[in-house]
């Protein structure tokens, strides 16, 4: 099939590369000429496992990049909208980019078009796209609009696309439904997984994936509801961690206990700094706005957001408790991305912690395996950037682990202790067992577990005062 993907962000670029991998002819369109130039020269722009390989394999063949939306619309039958839907000041999703693209599609369409909304959008966006197409001159029946939300996790987006647990399609006509089954055919019949050179299949991948055809409204709500529920699990376990910490219990044991219940499951039951990224904060606010439009006050999501915001403050309090005072303290920070496996720093809890510590007068030396360049755009030269974890730790008053990179879970702890001015580690991602830290002679503060202090805190405080 000939497919135009409008937008070259995380969703658009991954979708374009993966649809090309499935054998379709793809034109990825963006009005940012610098991005198009970079993509045409081989720069993948984002950090995603296996994405560079797919781009190298298909660029110039099954996959081309263009700044001309009009040409792409005329050449392709399937038009995938994957533009940004940022949060407006009110919390509602800003759909101005979706509307602008829709108008352009309507003006350029010269035959039947299947318009696929892949951006995360509120319910009834499908209907508004249909209405806009008609208002801008397209005859009803000369196009279809389908809701096809994405469920990609940054860091594993390629695997999530090519080996999904479900594909949701909100199609209102048999013609559109049939075209979508053709679009995803190699995933539905299992032929892609058998293809020589296919992307590695995750062990837990469902074969074949659930293919769910619904109304457009149901598909739109499924996306927002999924993200809201996952955010709720994160906030629930963080609230539970606060109780566990006060009671002297271990949140890791508690999570194993409740996560072993098949009705609950272990995924997203990880205590830490809270959720971030480009999706959860924005989508929860947008879903609350949708609920209000439907005359329902989704108060549960108010609490989810509040717990997430409070989690940052609780961690900062932990830092103050461990260090007594913060002004002029030199702190080593490991992790700037909002999660491991990505270079995305949007709404990153790690970045928010760093900003708060800078306001307290701290000197920060940070390291992240992938997100340093993007962090520089946000933080500039207000912090120093190290080449590795050990360079960051040298001479620091404490080490803070803020992103769950696997590299940070296997540090040489005796070496870390020798490099630090004081044996203090604050772990916002619970990457270590307290016993392991104690054996290494480190004072260890994590989330939802009792502090592990091998040297009395007052000794550390007196050294710090001197």
Please enumerate in sequence order all residues whose Cβ is within 8 A of that of 210, keeping only pairs 6 or more positions apart, or say none: 165, 166, 167
* 67-86 exposure pattern, b = at least 16 Cβ within 10 A, e = fewer: eebeebbebbebbbbbbbbe
Q: Which of 51, 40, 61 is nearest to 13 (CA)?
A: 51
Please enumerate in sequence order all residues whose Cβ is within 8 A of that of 9, keeping only pairs 6 or more positions apart, or say none: 82, 83, 84
CA distance 390 to 367: 9
Please enumerate in sequence order all residues whose Cβ is within 8 A of that of 109, keeping only pairs 6 or more positions apart, or say none: 73, 74, 133, 138, 142, 143
Structure tokens at 243: 């109780």
Catalytic residue among 76, 138, 279, 362: 279
The yes-or-no answer on residue 279 being catalytic is yes
Q: Which of 51, 47, 53, 87 is nearest to 337 (CA)?
A: 47
Handedness of CA 156, 157, 161, 167 (dihedral sign): positive
| Phi, psi (rounded to 5 degrees) for 444 | -125, 125
Structure tokens at 232: 């709720």
CA distance 198 to 228: 32
| Phi, psi (rounded to 5 degrees) for 87 | -75, 130
> Which residues, listed in sequence order, are joined to residue 299 by a DSSP beta bridge?
none
| Phi, psi (rounded to 5 degrees) for 271 | -70, 150
> Which of the residues are catalytic?
279
């Amino acid at each position: 099939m000939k497919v135009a993907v409008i937008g070259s962000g995380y969703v658009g670029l991954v979708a374009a590369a993966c649809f090309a991998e499935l054998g379709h002819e793809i034109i990825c369109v963006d009005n940012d000429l610098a991005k198009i130039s970079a993509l045409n020269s081989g720069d993948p722009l984002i950090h995603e496992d296996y994405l560079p390989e797919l781009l190298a394999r298909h660029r110039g063949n099954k996959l081309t990049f263009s700044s001309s939306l009009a040409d792409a619309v005329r050449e392709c039958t399937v038009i995938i909208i994957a533009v940004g839907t940022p949060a407006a000041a009110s919390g509602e999703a800003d759909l101005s980019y979706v509307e602008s693209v829709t108008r352009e599609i309507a003006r350029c369409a010269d035959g039947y078009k299947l318009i696929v909304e892949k951006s995360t959008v509120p319910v009834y966006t499908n209907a508004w796209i249909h209405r806009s197409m008609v208002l801008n001159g397209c005859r009803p029946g000369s196009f279809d609009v389908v809701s096809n939300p994405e469920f990609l996790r940054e860091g594993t987006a390629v695997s999530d696309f090519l080996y999904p647990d479900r594909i949701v399609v909100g199609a209102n006509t048999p013609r559109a439904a049939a075209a979508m089954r053709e679009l995803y055919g190699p995933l539905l019949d299992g032929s892609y997984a058998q293809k020589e050179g296919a992307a590695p299949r995750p062990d837990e991948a469902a074969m074949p994936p659930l293919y769910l055809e619904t109304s457009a409204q149901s598909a739109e709500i499924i996306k927002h509801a999924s993200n809201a529920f996952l955010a709720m699990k994160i906030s629930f376990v963080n609230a539970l961690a606060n109780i566990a910490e006060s009671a002297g219990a271990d949140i890791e044991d508690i999570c194993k206990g409740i996560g072993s219940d098949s009705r609950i499951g272990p995924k997203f039951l990880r205590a830490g700094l809270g959720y971030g990224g480009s999706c959860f904060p924005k989508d929860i606010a947008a879903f609350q706005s949708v609920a209000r439009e439907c005359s329902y006050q989704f108060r549960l999501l108010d609490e989810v957001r509040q717990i997430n915001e409070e989690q940052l403050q609780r961690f900062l309090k932990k830092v103050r408790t461990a260090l007594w005072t913060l002004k002029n303290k030199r702190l080593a920070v490991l992790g700037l991305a909002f999660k491991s496996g990505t270079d995305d720093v949007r709404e990153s809890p790690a970045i928010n912690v760093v900003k708060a510590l800078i306001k307290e007068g701290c000197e920060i030396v940070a390291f992240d395996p992938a997100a340093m360049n993007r962090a520089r755009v946000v933080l500039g030269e207000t912090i120093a950037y190290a080449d590795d974890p050990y360079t960051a730790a040298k001479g620091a008053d404490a080490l803070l682990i803020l992103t769950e990179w696997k590299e940070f879970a296997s540090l040489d702890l005796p070496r870390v202790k020798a490099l630090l001015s004081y044996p203090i580690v604050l772990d916002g991602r619970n990457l270590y067992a307290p016993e392991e830290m104690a054996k290494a002679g480190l004072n260890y503060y994590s989330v939802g577990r009792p502090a592990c202090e091998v040297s009395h805190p007052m000794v550390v405080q007196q050294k710090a005062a001197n």
